[in-house]
Structure formats: C-alpha cells, structure tokens
Structure 1
Amino acid sequence: MASRLAACEACRKAKLACDHQQPVCSRCRNGKFVCIYRTTPFKRKRIEKPSNLSSPDPSPSFTPRRNPYPNPGYLGSSSHAAIFKHITTDGDQSAGAQTGGSEALSPQWVGDNHLVLQGADVLRHLLTTYPLSAMKELVMFWLAKGANLALAEPFVAQCAESVSQLFAVNDENWHLMYARRLLHNSAQPLQFHQSMNLSEFSMQFMDHNCRWETIGIFFAAVSRATIDISFFPLLYTVAEDQYNLRRLTTKLSDFALEISLSLDCLNDLQLIAQYENFIVHSYVDGDQSYHSWRKLGDVISSTFAMGYHENLEAKPGIPRFLMELRKSAFARIYSADKNIAIFLGRPPRMNKRFCHFQIPSCQMAPSSHSHTTTGTTASYNRNNNDHSWDLDSKPGYRADSRWSALCAFLKEEIWELLQDKQDAACLQRASAIQHKAEEQWLALPANLRLGGSLKHCTRTPFDRDFLAHARLQHLHVLFLLRLLLLNTMTEPDIPIIETAGQMLALVVECILLRDQLTNSGTGLIWKVAYYGLPAAGIILLALLKQHTHTTQNIARTKILQDLSVFVAEVQIGTIVRPGDPNYALLSKATQTIQRFLDSFHSDSGQAPTDPGSHEEGAGNDDWAALLSQDLWDFEAGFWQSLADHPALLAVDPPLPRV
C-alpha cells in the first residue's frame, strides 16, 4: 500500500492537487509560488497539556558542515594551483567559471545548526512584531523617493516582492520550515552563461528559490529605509519604534549573511549582501565603530577570495550585466576602503599595486530612475589612464561608483606620498596628482558637475545630492593634497583655506537643503563628518592665527555665517541627536566652534591682539605642541586640542577630556 503524501502549503491552501515533487512541486514551479512542506503534516494538535515524556515537533534536519575540503576561492599566480594547472589534462578542467567558483553542497554538509536556529528565531520575532506587508510598503515607498541600495539596486524591488509573498504558513514551526528551505536554496550555486540576462540570473534567488542572501538584502533595505523615512504610520510614529524596527532588521540581516557565509559557497549575491550589510552598520553603529571597520575588512576579504581584484575582462563566459555588477562591487569596495581609512587615519587594505583597477561603465543597471546599461566599459589602472565618460551619462549609483573610485585612486596616491613626504620628488609628484585631479574633473560630463550654488540647482533630489557629492569628492582630493604640503597644520596656507571654504559652504548647503536631497550613495551625516569637519577645522586654525597674509583673502562674513549655521543645526538636533553613532564627534566639534564664535563676537569691537607679542606667542607655541601632529586626524582628538587654544580658554573652561 502506497504511503500517504502531504501536499505543499500552497496547494493545500488552494485546495488543489499537488504532485508532491521535492523541493518544489510542478504547480508552484510553474506559478512561481513558494513551495513549503510542513515538517509534521499529519500530526494533530493535542488539546491536553503534553506530558514530560512527549517531545516537540522535530526541528529541520540541519547538520553542521563536515566538509574537510573548504572552498579555496581565487588562487593566484604564486599558489600551488597555478603550478598544477599546467600539468592538468584537459579532461580534468573544471567549469567553475560558469558557477562563480561555487559548488553545490550535499544536504549533509549544509549550514551551521546554531546560526540557523538563531536566524529562524529572529525571523519569527520580527514577523510577529511587525507586519511583513507593511515592511514591503516601506521599502517600496523608499524606492519611490529615488533612493536604493547602491550595489544591490537591480534586485531590491524583486527581493521585496519575493519576501513579502514567502511567509504564509501558520504552522507552529513555520520559522524552522522556512529556515530549512532558505538554507537548501542558499547552498545551490548561481549558474550563468555568456548569453544570460539579468532577469534569468535573478530567477535563481527569487520566489520559490529565495535564499538567505535574498532575506539579507531585503531587510538591509528595510533598515536603510527607516533611516531616511522618519514617519511611517504602518510601522512607526515615534523614534523608539523606528529604532526598534531598525535594530531587528539589522540583526536579521546579520544572521542571514552569517548563515550564507557558513555554507562556504562564494557567489556574487553573497558579496552584494555582504557589502550592503557593511553599509547598514556604518549607519547603525557609526563610521568610527570597530564593528563597521571589521565588516569592511570582511567584504574586502571576500573580494580577494572571489578574484575580483584581477582583470575581470579576461575571465571567459561572463555575461555583460554580471561583468558590470562585479566592476561596480570592486569600485564601491575599493573607494570605501580608502575613504574609511582616511577618516579613521588607518592604513588602507586594498592596495592598487595588487589590484587591476577597474570601474563600471557610465550608465546604471535598469532601475526606477535610470536607463539601460549602454556605452563602452572604461578601465583605469596603473598602466591605463583612460577615464572617459559617455557624454549622455546621467546621475545614478553606477556613476557614483565610478566617480568615487576614480577619486579614491588619487587619494591612495596622496596617502602613499604622505609616507614619502621627505622625498625630494614630493612636490613634483604632488603637482602630477593635482593635474590628474583637475583633468578628471574636466573629463566629468557637464551634466554630472555642479557649476554653482546647490540652492540654484533645479534638478531632482537624487541628482542634486549626486552633484553635491561629486563636487565634494573632487574638493576633498585637492584638500588632502594641500594638507599634505603643509609644514604644520597650525600654519594653513591660502590654497587650503580656499578649498576648505568651498567644502564647508557646500556641506552647509546640503544641511539646509536636506529635505530636498535623496541619498545618491552617501548620507548627510557622512558628508558632515568626512568633509565638513576637516574643512571647519582648517578654517578655525586660520582664523585663530589672525595673520593678515592668511586671512585677508577669506570671505570672513560668509565663513562665519557657515560656521554659525553648522553649529546651530547640530545643536538643535536636526541632523544628529544624542544617542546617534556620530553624536559624540559632532557635538565636541561644534562646542569648540561655538566657543570660537563667542570669542570672535566678544572681541569684534576690540583691536586684534598682536600675534607677535611675547605672551600671545608663547601661549600659541604651547598650544601648538598639544595639537595632534597627525595631519589626517580630524576626529575627537583634534577638536579637544583645538579647544585648548589660548584664544578660547578665556571664553569658557576647556572641554572635559574623555
């Protein structure tokens, strides 16, 4: 007698016949339904309280990975594989290039039991606290405003649609059932071939093929949306509920990523989820957080392990859309490495000497505010200075990735020059970098350059934010170059003061127009901390010196106005509030700026102090010795030292040291 077979949940709820195929029945495969089979379909719920001897429904058969041969990922020219491949017969050649280096794992090898159970528990807690349909609506509303995840952009809307249709089972152990299905799907390799398109590729991880990476991308988008949208009645109306949702979705994104990484199956979707998870933590934990720093290191490790630091054009059988996606990943991770390293004053971890520098084409992948990818792919490496742009390029995340990487390339050269500052050829090398920077800016299409004040720009919120950030990136390169050439930071010269004034003015415009901007790749807090604080610091140093030859060409009224707005916006909590990750840094800086403004206004009716007097000179000398000698340090230590300037000590007691 044939054993009785249970229908999947989709067929059972529709009261239609199911052919019981595993893991997906024919009806669900054809209709793109999510096919889930209950763990104990014929077990009736007992009304009476179970005895101590009875056992709960069994958990999914997760078995910790026991594979003694881990996936090695990319192996370079110095590895044993490079030697042995020359003596391998043609018949033994692997087709790994067609699967992105991933191999399917047998069922007994998949997952980490502890991680999966934790992920399933967080999933159940989140979905019983907040309605999934409302979270989907939040993401779609966020996308409609023009925002998106920078690297996962082509997949976010599909991920939201797939996940919102995924969880429909009311079984007691539904979270474990879905965890098993997600785990099974995540262990499958992502196949591709030369003629494959984006839609065919994404079908491998959408709908009934939904993976933990898909879950991670969706909830990363939910977390990011809670940052940009302060009021969404379906989910939150007060800051506490908004924070709780952000915390839970970030936690689930973390578990989704860790589960997929535990499978030891490197693939493109996993790297995308990993990058977006790092970006989420930069918002949630702050850019100074060690947790964010470690997350970035993990993303860089995966980039090298997948071989994306090598010439991607030389790898056969890769469809064009995937090639562009991989180049975008390299560009964004490379530029993030340089920018975070400079912000924290730490060594970068992706050295261009060991990378084939490559950037995506000018246009973006299809999205809500972009056009189909066209144009010739441009490469820019140490032997090739081709950084041409399509004349019809439009602002978008792909263009932002491209421009940020080009600027990061020059920042790395400046960083290297800082290590060789005593070199006799330093000035000549610095001049060459400045020439490259100006050449890059002029090569940028006029459509992507901010020509005047941001408030006079009448374009879309996304475009305005893009133009402002592109200009800030260029000014920052020039700023770092001028900072490098200073003999001491306490003696800023006119070129760096003028550059700092332009940076500060543009950051202040971004603050004032924040409601008319849509995140095009960097948030407002990053613009304030990364560009605004160093600019304000240099300007204060120049004004405190009160030397005629360094201040006569500065528009002092405009500078003081910008500093006042900068301080006021931070102090009233419009851009950062107590408890936010970067609050300590910004509040300390603005306290010091406020003390300077108070000092300036109190002395405005008096003759300026003679900087050559013995007492003033001695005080400045003592203070200069306290100022950090690290020319790249504009974090809390710099502002604490600046607060000890003799001109500010008379206004208020010094800030308490932490």
Structure 2
Amino acid sequence: MVMASRLAACEACRKSKLACDHQQPVCSRCQATQGVCIYRTAPFKRRRIEKPILKSPDPSPSYSPRRNPYPNPGYLGLSSHAAIFKHITPDDHSAGSHAVGPEVGTEPWIGDNHLLLQGADVLKHLLTLYSLLSMKELVEFWLAKGTNLALAEPFVAQCAESVSQLFESHDESWHLVYARRLLQNSARPLQFDASTDLAGFSSQFLDHYARWETLGIFFAAVSRATIDVPFFPALYTTEEQQYTLRRLATKLCDFSLEISLSLDCLNDLQLIVQYENFIVHSYVDGDQSYHSWRKLGDVISSTFALGYHENTQAKTGIPPFLVDLRKAAFARIYSADKNIGIFLGRPPRMNKRFCHFQIPSCDLNARLNGSTNDWDPDTTVGYRADTRWSALCASLKEEIWELLQDKSDASCVAKASEIQHKAEEQWKALPNHFRLESSLKQCVGSPFERDFLAHVRLNHLHVLFLLRLLLLNTMTEPDIPIIETAGQMLALVVEAILLRDQLTNSGTGLIWKVAYYGLPAAGIILLALLKQQSHATQSISRTKILRDLSVFVAEVQIGTIVRSGDPNFALLSRATQTIQRFLDSFHSDSVPPPALEAGHDDGNEDWAALLSQDLWDYEAGFWQSLADHPSLLAIDPPLPNV
C-alpha cells in the first residue's frame, strides 16, 4: 500500500492552525479571505540551530542552472535576420504576451542568487526599522496632496495597498520565503488581449500575485514622498531620519528592479519601474549625477528592446489602455532624453529619425486620433497632459539641436523661423486654461494646477530661448529677443520659488525648474548687463531684473530651496555666488562700473575668449567662466550663508 505524500499548509493556515486544502498558488481559505497565500519552499526541513549562512559578511552565490538557456532577444527590427526569416516562417505568437521567460509552474531561474539574497536582506532591514503600515500611510498622505509617480500613476495606490498586506510571517527566514515567492511571480509573463481592462491587467501583480516590480513601484513612491513631505512623525522627525528612510527605500527600489531585470523577461511593468527608478535617482543623486545619467540610458535601452519606439497603435491584440500607457512611456522617456541632454550639454540618445513619435491621449482608455497638436478644449490638468506637452516641446528642442550641428548652413535661419512658427502654433493649440497669461499668484486653482501652468509656460519659453540662443553670433552679446525671453523665464522661476508652499509637483520639481530654466535665463541677463547693453535691456525693467536676481540669490543662500549636502547644491551655490558678485559690483560706489571706455575693452575680449562656447552647457564651467569677467574680479566673493 502506497502512502499519500504529506502536503504542507500555507503560512496563513499554519499560523492560524486551520486546515488547508493545499491549492496553489492560492488555497481556498486565502482566496475567500483575500489573504496572502505563501507556501514555504522546504516546510518539513528541520531548522538548524547554528548561525545561518545569510549572516555571513560575504555569502557566496549558489549555482543554479538556468531553465531558459537562450537570451530574450526583445524587439528585432527590419535589418535583423528575423525580418528575413519572418517571410519564410511567419511569427504566429500571440500578442498577449511579449515576455520570454520560464513557463508558469516551473522553477524560475534565479538570475543572480546573490542579488536576491541582498534584496531580501535590505527588505528585512527596512521592515525591522520602519512600520510597513506607516510607510503606506506616508504614501497615501503624499497622494492626497495631489502628486504621484508620473508614469506609474494608475498603479501606485494599488501597489501600496498590496505591499502593506503582504508581509505577515516574521520567523527567522521569512524574508527569504517572500523574496522567492516574489521572484516566482515576477517570472510569470503578463497576459492580456484586446478586451483586457486596467483592473484585469493590474490584478496580475497585486495581492498574492505581487512581484518584485510591485515593491519597486511602492518604494519609489516612499522615496519620493520623503522628499515632498518634510515631517511625518510616524516615520521621521529629523532630517537624518528622513534621509535614512529615503536611502533605504531607494536601495530596495534598486534591488527590486535589478532582480526583475535579471530574469531577462522585459515587460511593460518593468519599463515603468525603470523610469520611476531613474526619476528617484535624479532626486536622490542629483540631475548631474552619472548614476542618473546611466539609469536614463538603461531606460532608453529597454524602450528600444521592447520595440516601443515603433508605432504601438499599429499592433493588434493590445487593449487601448495599454497602447496609451506605452505611448506615455515613450513620450516621457523621449522628453527626459532631450531635457537631460540639454541640461548636461550631451548628445541625445533617442532620435525621431529612428522612432515613431507618439504621445498619449489625456484619457487612459481612449486612443488619440488626428494631429498631435489637437487638444480637447475640456482636457483636465494632469500628468497625461504634462506628458503630451513635454514631448511636443522636446520634439522642437531636438530640431533645434540638429540645427546647432549645421549652424553654418545658409538655410539655418529659415529653419529656425519654421520651428518658431511651430512653437507658436503649439502654444495657441493648447486649451485656454492651460496657457498662463498672467502672474502665477493670480491663478485660481489647486497647488497642482498652479505648478502645471508654470511648467507648461516655462517649457514653451525654453523652446523660444534655445532658438534665440542658436541664432546668436556669440553668447557674450545677447540680443533683445533672447533677453526678453530670459527675463520672462527668470521672473516665472522666481515667482515659483516665492510661492513654493502653494505648489505641488506636477511632473517637475522646483529644483529642476530653478536649475534648468532659471540658471540659463539668469546667465543671459548677466551677460547683457555686464556688456552694459542699455539698448538691449530697455524693453524690460532693469529694476525688476535686479530684484528677481536678488531674490533668486537670497533664496538659495539662506537654504530655503537647497541646502548644503543636497545633490544640486554645488551647481546652484556657484551660480548664485557669481550673481551675488555682480549685484555687489552693481550697487558698490567704490568699484568702477563694469562698462569700459570705448577702445579699452581688451579685458572683456580676453574674458570672452575664456567663456565656454558650448551653447548648451550651463553647468559649473559656464558660471566659473562668467565669474572671471574683469568687472567682477575686483569684488570679493560674499561670505557663505549670508
């Protein structure tokens, strides 16, 4: 007589001392109670008393043979061998699953076992120090302010709820049990067809189907929340505690992403986590950090590997909400590529020549028809609208960038005029309530809406600014149009600084607005004033310019928008020191005025030769060169923190 094999109960039934029917992946009792059903990998193995190997300071990764020995090729384009063989043996694969990975029910390959152990360790450490429920409440408080993760917006609240209910067992190896279960779920391809809705799609990575990507989204939200919420007594009351939680949440977000990528089965959810992880690093490490730059490159690589640079709407069997989500991913990644490239003075990595330019609709469940410039007059303010507008502006910035490479071309001016016409048409096509035509403080709306209007206007002004910058013969002699545009940009940035407590991040933070829009504008205005171009500055109030520059400097120096130790502090502090030296020079009676007599401007010529001629570079090098202007060398730099 053959005895039946002994079956282990799930953790929830075992802890409750209730009968379990052993159904997998979810037993009937957990299914009925919406509980999280976890089965231990070795339930009947006697626990050893000795210290577990996990506690070793440098545990060696255990070898695990790979179930799928062939790499996931991802998207293969027209020049690949697959495009030729496709005509011989047509690809009959279903559109419902584009991820290549282990079959459901098989033991997944652990891409890097050491990586998984590290991720489990960080998870255990974080949940030992901080309450998971409190972290969920922090995210909910952050969401209640009107902000969110721009691309993962539809999933953040659901992921927070799922993760907060996920971890219940707390024996010695609970973190390893959950880590492996998350890995098994992450190895499952995301299934969908033309009739799948958002709820059906997201149910594949929530509750007992939670994946490492689910944790990635949640902890990206936790990290971002610690930036926007300065005081949350349940988790932190000091800057040090706030910083510690932010770094741990960022680290776990990193591990969640890397473990998911190690499975070599790219999908939509992983791309979303990659983008949000890049944004987190831009906040935590700074916009000039190599880590952020590399993260952006990884996101772009995944976009191409998934084929989302192609026309996503032309593919069949994909539900409308997912088509629009992929368009949103492309648009935000494309915009980030242009904006970060311009900010750092580096070449772009996504070119429209090799991409199908596409932007999402403002309704997640609707497909966009007609021209990209078409807007529904009743479109509401939101992240989707910000995504569309940012991509439209980034498209024009790429065209300006290309003109910069052919500046000697005789048709450069005509092409620049055409781009300016496009920019003006784009602005006119916006819904009336998207166009900021007055002072920001006169706007009636929520903090999110105010911030949105400011960013829409700044992005438009930035396109016009770059066009005028392109047409300058030399940066040291700005003309009237660029000075006027710079004055408008600086005034709006200063107003955003003063109203910062009445603004909520609608897609870009205040520090980014200051560094990306404010610094170039301030730099051009200083160049004009240093040249004493009264004819160039007569169209705008010099008094207002000096007041805006003074406020700009004061807010940075007293630490209201950036403090010592913050990632962008070095860039902003150096720029404001140069501006302060100019203001001291301008208001000092003991120092000769900056303008030199006609025929005696050799010092200015020598200085002009030192100034960086890279029109796109507004990093520290530009401000250091500007600080070497002859009229500023006689002024001692201001004392710190004055």
Bucket of the pairwise TM-score, normalised by the shorter protein: over 0.9
Per the alignment, residue 495 of structure 1 pairs with 481
Q: What SS class does the counterpart of residue 539 from structure 2 fall into? A: coil
1:583 maps to what in 2?
A: 569
Letter in 2 for 1:5: L
Question: Given the superposition, is the C-alpha separation of residues 634 and 108 from structure 1 closer, same or farther in structure 2, using an over 3 Å criterion?
Answer: closer
Q: Is the 8 A contact 1:360 1:378 kept in 2?
A: no
Establish whether residue 429 from structure 1 lines up as the match of residue 415 from structure 2. Answer: yes
Please tell me whether the aligned partners of residues 108 and 187 of structure 2 are also in contact (alpha carbons under 8 angstroms): no
- List per-residue Cα deviations over 1:25-45 (Å, max 9, x = no partner): 222234432111234545676
Q: Does 1:508 align with 2:510?
A: no
- Aligned with residue 627 of structure 2, among 643, 648, 656: 643
Give 5+ residue unaligned stretches, structure 1.
366-372, 380-384
Whole-Å separation in 2 of the counterparts to 1:152 and 1:509: 30
Residue 217 of structure 1 corresponds to which residue in structure 2?
217
Task: Go from structure 1 to structure 2 and tell me whether the alpha carbon gap of 1:215 and 1:33 turns closer, same or farther (over 3 Å shift).
Answer: same
- 8 Å CA contact 1:138–1:222 kept in 2: the answer is yes
- CA distance 1:647–1:60, change in 2 (3 Å): closer
1:161-219 deviations in Å (ceiling 9; x for gaps): 00000001022100000000000000000000111110010000000000000000100
User: CA–CA distance in 1 between the matches of 2:230 and 2:240?
Assistant: 11
How far 1:652 sits from its partner (Å)? 1.5
TM-score normalised by L of structure 2: 0.95
Number of aligned residue pairs: give it. Answer: 633
Q: Percentage identity across aligned positions?
A: 77
Give, as a single letter, the amino acid of the residue that structure 1 aligns with 2:82: A
What does residue 70 of structure 1 align with?
71
Give the whole-Å Cα distance in 1 for the aligned partners of 2:5 and 2:219: 40
Gaps of 5+ in 2: none
CA contact 1:149–1:276 (8 Å) conserved in 2: yes
Query: Counterpart of 2:111?
Result: 111
Q: How many Å apart are 1:277 and its aligned residue?
A: 0.2
Amino acid at match of 1:581: P
**Offset, 1:21:** 2.2
Q: Which residue of 2 aligns with 1:279?
A: 279
Aligned residue for 2:402? 416
1:347 and 2:347 are equivalent in the alignment: yes
Partner of 2:322: 322
In 2, Cα distance between the equivalents of 1:93 and 1:32? 37
Report how far residue 109 of structure 1 moved.
2.5
1:310 aligns with 2:310: yes
Aligned to 2:447: 461
The answer to whether the 8 A contact 1:462-1:520 is kept is yes
1:496: Cα distance to partner?
Answer: 0.2
Cα distance, 1:378 vs structure 2: 4.4
One-letter identity of the residue aligned with 1:102: V
SS in structure 2 opposite 1:109? coil
SS at match of 2:154: helix
The 5 A counterparts of 1:233-312 are 233-312=233-312
Q: Distance in 1 between matches of 2:594 and 2:581?
A: 17
User: What displacement does 1:50 show?
Assistant: 4.4
CA 378–403 in structure 1, closer or farther in 2 if over 3 Å, else same: farther
For 1:388-427, list aligned pairs within 5 A. Answer: 388-427=374-413
Q: Partner letter of residue 29 of structure 1?
A: Q
Deviates more, 1:4-13 or 1:166-175: 4-13
Distance 2:592 2:608 in 1: 24
**CA RMSD, Structure 1 to Structure 2 (Å):** 2.3
Deviation at 1:111, TM superposition (A): 3.0
Corresponding residue for residue 514 of structure 2: 528
Q: Is the 8 A contact 1:76 1:82 kept in 2?
A: yes
Residue identity in the other structure for 1:68: P
**Does the 8 Å contact 2:68/2:101 carry over to 1?**
no
Measure the CA separation in 1 of the matches of 2:265 and 2:279.
22
| Structure 2 residue identity aligned to 1:115 | L
Secondary structure of 1:107's aligned partner: coil
Q: 2:430 aligns with which of 411, 421, 444?
A: 444
- Quick one: which amino acid aligns to residue 613 of structure 1? A
CA distance in 2, matches of 1:78, 1:435: 36
For the residues of structure 2 that align with 1:195 and 1:35, how far apart are their CA atoms? 28
> Cα offset for 1:613?
3.4
Moved more, 11-20 or 433-442: 11-20
Q: What is the correspondence of 1:38-57 to structure 2 with a 5 Å cutoff?
A: 38-42=40-44, 50=50
Give distance in 1, aligned partners of 2:632 and 2:6: 84
SS in 1 for 2:93: coil
Could you tell me how far apart the structure 2 residues matched to 1:52 and 1:512 are?
A: 55
Change (3 A) 1:32 1:601: same
| CA drift at 1:94 | 1.7
The aligned amino acid for 2:174 is W
Partners of 1:59 and 1:411 lie apart in 2 by 49
> Amino acid of the residue matched to residue 255 of structure 1?
F
Q: Kindly indicate whether the alpha-carbon contact (under 8 Å) linking 1:643 and 1:654 is maintained by their aligned counterparts in 2.
A: no
Conservation of the 8 A alpha-carbon contact between 1:478 and 1:499? yes
Which residue of 631, 647, 653 maps to 2:615? 631
Which residue of the partner structure matches residue 97 of structure 2? 99
TM-superposed CA distance for 1:458, in Å, is 1.5
CA deviation after TM superposition for structure 1 residue 455, in Å: 0.5
Q: Contact 2:403/2:412 (CA < 8 Å) preserved in 1?
A: yes
Please tell me whether the aligned partners of residues 330 and 358 of structure 1 are also in contact (alpha carbons under 8 angstroms).
Answer: yes
C-alpha displacement at 1:104, in angstroms?
A: 3.6
Between the aligned partners of 1:548 and 1:200, the Cα distance in structure 2 is 64
Matched residue type, 1:186:
S
Matched-pair contact (CA < 8 Å) for 1:226–1:246: yes
Q: Secondary structure at the match of 2:216?
A: helix
Aligned counterparts of 1:268 and 1:15: Cα–Cα separation in 2: 40
Q: Secondary structure at the match of 2:76?
A: coil
Q: 1:325 to 1:108 in 2, by over 3 A?
A: closer
Distance 1:467 1:52, change over 3 A: closer
How far did residue 66 of structure 1 move?
5.5
Distance in 2, matches of 1:581 and 1:64, equals 42
CA, structure 1 residues 238+61, in 2 after alignment: closer, same or farther (shift >3 Å)?
same
Paired residues of 1:483 and 1:631 also in contact (CA < 8 A): yes
CA contact 2:393–2:460 (8 Å) conserved in 1: yes
The one-letter code matched in structure 2 to 1:241 is Q
- Deviation of residue 607 (structure 1)? 8.7
Q: In the alignment, which residue of structure 1 is the partner of 2:18? A: 16
Contact 1:102–1:267 at 8 Å: present in 2 too? no
In 2, are the aligned partners of 1:59 and 1:176 still within 8 Å (CA)?
A: no
Would the aligned equivalents of 2:64 and 2:110 in 1 still touch at CA under 8 Å? yes
The 5 Å alignment of 1:76-87 reads 76-87=77-88
Q: Deviations over 1:114-171 (max 9, x none)?
A: 1100100000000001111110000000000001000000000000000000001022
Taking structure 1 as reference, are residues 51 and 392 closer, same or farther at Cα in structure 2, changes over 3 Å only? closer
Match of 2:368 in 1: 377
Deviations 1:462-499 (A, max 9, x none): 11000000000000000000000000000000100000
